[in-house]
């Protein structure tokens, strides 16, 4: 499984559904008597989860420990604090998780050590994901030959998008080529892409993204409706994978078409579009579409929510992004994720950013550069060292992209 994002969502109800999805996935794994569990990053939504969320996770992980089921993990981009610390370390020290990312760097070459699962004689390796896809540097120094030469069954955990397998929806997302991964492993457990996908290419078989265990924002709720994980069986050289969907609360989409509707009449519209739809214990997304004769702020959402909750809805979320007001102007997005919002702003202004010689596509370049510049000072790091390191990284990044001269021309610092 991957991208659990425990503790995510602002609404208590949705956060609870996310945790319940995790608990259910673990219960199923115990019932199925699995040998071990792999989590390919973003177990928690933040590197500093609340005590309640950590307690719920610890309780479930302890159940696994009692059953002798080991949980192997890598960090995802969400598991690291700005100073590079990871909450997973706490769980590892408590014996509830095993991080598989240990390695040794010698003369610029990284040798991964991996962890052996004794019961199945499987070697498990992995490289964590970093914010802004900075893990690419790790892959660049990875000694792949040595990993490929190792005998026996091998599994690789990663938390990155793969260029060859990226769908159009993830066009702008930073990604790496599949050739960054060592060849010939029996299973590649992927995370980071919240959409489910099974892939293979040449010597890379069973490259699997289980997707988020539970959707992480309104867009994911709308497109995926739910999440799940993979149950994988390997015997006599044959690998069988089964997707196990997890449904705690069904997602119901209620589309309300507006035809120059007055805000006062919206409730009636909602009633009419409901028809015989069953809302029992479901997450209802009311998507308003069309022209509104008035302001969005005049819509009584509270009343609409209460009405739908009365019909059995567990929670009501609204999507007003497709409403056009009287002047038929588009409403600017407001319920997107921080990353998407940033990306949108950059995309909107990209024509003003003249990067003629840049090796990368403008939006990806700006996003990564912003990430690089937003690195925070590490604990104990001297201010001068910090400044120099950010400066050096920036110069290196610019020169890698053929842009150093451009910048020297326009600035003296
Ligand atoms: Mn994620």
Whole-number Å distance, alpha carbon 41 to ligand 1 midpoint, is 7
Whole-number Å distance, alpha carbon 89 to ligand 1 midpoint, is 18
- Is the residue at 144 inside a domain? yes
Average the pLDDT over 259-266 and give the result: 89
Does residue 348 carry a pLDDT above 90? no
Q: pLDDT digit string (tens) for 154-185?
A: 999 999 999 999 887 777 788 999 999 999 99
Does residue 413 carry a pLDDT above 50? no
Q: pLDDT digit string (tens) for 274-312?
A: 878 889 999 999 999 999 998 888 899 999 999 999 999
Whole-number Å distance, alpha carbon 5 to ligand 1 midpoint, is 7
Say yes or no: 56 and 156 in one domain: yes
Sign, CA torsion 289/15/174/348: positive
Whole-number Å distance, alpha carbon 192 to ligand 1 midpoint, is 5
Whole-number Å distance, alpha carbon 229 to ligand 1 midpoint, is 14
Whole-number Å distance, alpha carbon 3 to ligand 1 midpoint, is 4
Sign, CA torsion 68/227/139/337: negative
- Is the residue at 355 inside a domain? yes
List 407's β-bridge partners, or say none: none
Say yes or no: 255 and 240 in one domain: no
333 falls in which pLDDT band (50, 70, 90)?
Answer: low
Q: Check residue 328 and give its pLDDT.
A: 47
Beta pairing class for 103-106 and 109-112: antiparallel
Whole-number Å distance, alpha carbon 259 to ligand 1 midpoint, is 38
* CA 379 to centroid of chain Cα atoms: 26
Beta pairing class for 98-99 and 70-74: parallel
3-state secondary structure of 110: strand
Q: Which domain range does residue 255 map to?
A: 251-324
Say yes or no: 242 and 255 in one domain: no
Q: Name, in order, each residue with C-beta under 8 angstroms of 241's C-beta and a sequence gap of 6 or more.
A: 198, 206, 208, 230, 231, 232, 233
Say yes or no: 286 and 387 in one domain: no
Q: Check residue 154 and give its pLDDT.
A: 97
Average the pLDDT over 26-40 and give the result: 98
114: CATH: 3.60.21.10
Query: Whats the size of the chain, residue-wise?
Result: 413
Whole-number Å distance, alpha carbon 175 to ligand 1 midpoint, is 14
Provide the terminal-to-terminal Cα distance of the chain, rounded to the nearest Å.
Answer: 46
Whole-number Å distance, alpha carbon 38 to ligand 1 midpoint, is 15
Does residue 135 carry a pLDDT above 90? no
Last residue of a domain, one of 324, 357, 382: 324
Say yes or no: 86 and 191 in one domain: yes
Whole-number Å distance, alpha carbon 378 to ligand 1 midpoint, is 24
Say yes or no: 136 and 242 in one domain: yes
Number of domains in the chain: 3
CA pair distance 204, 186, nearest whole angstrom = 8
Surrounding ion ligand 1 within 5 Å at CB are: 3, 42
Whole-number Å distance, alpha carbon 78 to ligand 1 midpoint, is 7
Better-scored residue on pLDDT, 155 or 345: 155
Q: Check residue 80 and give its pLDDT.
A: 84
Better-scored residue on pLDDT, 156 or 130: 156
Q: Check residue 409 and give its pLDDT.
A: 59
- Is the residue at 4 inside a domain? no
The percentage of residues in the chain with a pLDDT greater than 70, rounded to a whole number, is 95
Say yes or no: 179 and 311 in one domain: no
3-state secondary structure of 338: helix
Q: pLDDT digit string (tens) for 57-104?
A: 999 999 999 999 999 999 998 888 877 788 999 999 999 999 998 889
**Radius of gyration over every alpha carbon of the chain, rounded to an integer in angstroms:** 24
Q: pLDDT digit string (tens) for 350-391?
A: 777 777 777 778 888 888 888 888 887 777 788 888 888 888
Average the pLDDT over 326-350 and give the result: 69
The answer to whether the CB of 226 falls within 8 A of the CB of 247 is: yes
Does residue 394 carry a pLDDT above 90? no
Q: pLDDT digit string (tens) for 194-226?
A: 999 999 999 999 999 999 999 999 999 999 999
Whole-number Å distance, alpha carbon 248 to ligand 1 midpoint, is 20
Whole-number Å distance, alpha carbon 67 to ligand 1 midpoint, is 28
Average the pLDDT over 137-146 and give the result: 92
- Is the residue at 219 inside a domain? yes
- Is the residue at 331 inside a domain? no
Whole-number Å distance, alpha carbon 22 to ligand 1 midpoint, is 14
CA proximity to 97, closest of 115, 71, 76, 119: 71
Whole-number Å distance, alpha carbon 123 to ligand 1 midpoint, is 25
Tokens of 199: 């892939």
412 falls in which pLDDT band (50, 70, 90)?
Answer: very low
Whole-number Å distance, alpha carbon 211 to ligand 1 midpoint, is 9
Last residue of a domain, one of 246, 278, 306: 246
> Got the DSSP string for 163-210?
GGG--GGGTTS--B-GGGSPS--SEEEEES--S-EEEEETTEEEEEE-
Q: Check residue 275 and give its pLDDT.
A: 77
Say yes or no: 318 and 352 in one domain: no
Average the pLDDT over 321-328 and give the result: 75
Say yes or no: 156 and 296 in one domain: no
Whole-number Å distance, alpha carbon 282 to ligand 1 midpoint, is 24
As a three-state string, the secondary structure of 62-87 is: HHHHHHCCEEEEECCCCCECCCCCEC
Say yes or no: 296 and 234 in one domain: no
Say yes or no: 268 and 237 in one domain: no
Say yes or no: 217 and 289 in one domain: no
What mean pLDDT is reported for the chain? 89
- Is the residue at 168 inside a domain? yes
Last residue of a domain, one of 297, 324, 351: 324
- Is the residue at 214 inside a domain? yes
327 falls in which pLDDT band (50, 70, 90)?
Answer: low
- Is the residue at 68 inside a domain? yes
| Look-up of token digits 């993990």 | 73
């Amino acid at each position: 499984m991957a991208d659990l994002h425990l503790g995510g969502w602002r609404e208590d109800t949705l956060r609870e559904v996310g945790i319940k999805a995790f608990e259910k996935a673990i219960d199923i794994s115990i019932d199925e008597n699995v040998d071990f569990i792999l989590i390919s990053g973003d177990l928690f939504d933040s590197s500093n989860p609340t005590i309640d969320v950590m307690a719920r996770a610890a309780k479930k992980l302890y159940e696994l420990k009692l059953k002798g089921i080991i949980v192997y993990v890598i960090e995802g981009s969400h598991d690291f604090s700005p100073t590079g610390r990871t909450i997973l370390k706490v769980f590892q020290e408590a014996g509830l998780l095993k991080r598989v990312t240990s390695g040794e760097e010698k003369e610029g070459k990284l040798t991964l050590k991996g962890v052996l699962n004794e019961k199945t004689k499987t070697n498990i390796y992995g490289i964590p994901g970093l914010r802004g896809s900075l893990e690419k540097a790790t892959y660049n120094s990875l000694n792949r030959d040595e990993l490929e030469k190792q005998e026996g069954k091998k599994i690789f955990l990663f938390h990155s998008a793969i260029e060859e397998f990226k769908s159009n929806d993830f066009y702008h997302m930073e990604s790496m080529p599949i050739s960054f991964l060592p060849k010939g492993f029996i299973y590649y457990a992927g995370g980071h892409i919240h959409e489910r996908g099974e892939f293979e290419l040449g010597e890379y078989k069973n490259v699997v993204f289980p997707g988020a265990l539970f959707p992480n924002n309104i867009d994911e709720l709308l497109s995926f409706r739910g999440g799940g994980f993979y149950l994988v069986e390997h015997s006599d050289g044959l690998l069988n994978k089964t997707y196990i969907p997890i449904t705690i609360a069904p997602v119901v989409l209620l589309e309300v078409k507006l035809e120059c509707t007055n805000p006062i009449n919206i409730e009636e519209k909602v009633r009419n579009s409901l028809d015989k739809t069953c809302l029992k214990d479901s997450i209802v997304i009311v998507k308003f579409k069309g022209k509104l004769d008035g302001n969005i702020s005049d819509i009584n959402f509270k009343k609409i929510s209460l009405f739908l909750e009365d019909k059995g809805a567990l929670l009501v979320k609204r999507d007003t992004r497709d409403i056009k007001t009287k002047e038929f102007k588009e409403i600017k997005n407001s319920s997107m994720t921080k990353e998407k919002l940033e990306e949108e702003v950059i995309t909107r202004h990209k024509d003003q950013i003249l990067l003629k010689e840049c090796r990368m596509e403008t939006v990806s370049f700006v996003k990564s550069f912003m990430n690089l510049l937003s690195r925070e000072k590490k604990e104990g790091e001297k201010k001068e060292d910090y400044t120099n390191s950010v400066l050096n990284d920036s110069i290196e990044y610019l020169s890698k992209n053929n842009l150093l001269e451009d910048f020297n021309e326009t600035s003296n610092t």
